[in-house]
Amino acid sequence: MLALIMIKVTPGKESQVIGQAREAVGGKALRFNDKPFIFKVTGPYDVIAFMKTDTIYEFRGALMKIRKIEGVMDTITSIVVK
């Protein structure tokens, strides 16, 4: 299962949220040059995490960890269907 998690963050907390989101998704984050695909972005959401899991339960666990991070205001997730 491949998912994109868009995260709205309290202003000024972006770096903190990115660091903690990397810990929350652990080895489930897609990687590029051995770095997790978790980026600060422009637009209505502040951070995007790209994650791949084997089960919906792994995905849900990581998402719940992200949502509990201090500074996370909201998330929206898109699951890749094809």
- Per-residue DSSP letters for the chain? -EEEEEEEE-TT-HHHHHHHHHHHHGGGB-EETTEESEEE-SSS-SEEEEEE-SSHHHHHHHHHHHHTSTTEEEEEEEE---
pLDDT confidence bin for 37, thresholds 50/70/90 = confident
Give the right CATH number for 2-79 from 3.40.30.10, 3.30.70.920, 3.40.50.2300, 3.30.70.1290. 3.30.70.920
pLDDT, one tens digit per residue, over 13-30 is 999 999 999 888 877 777
Q: What is the pLDDT of residue 36?
A: 72
Instruction: Give the predicted TM-score (pTM) of the model.
Output: 0.88
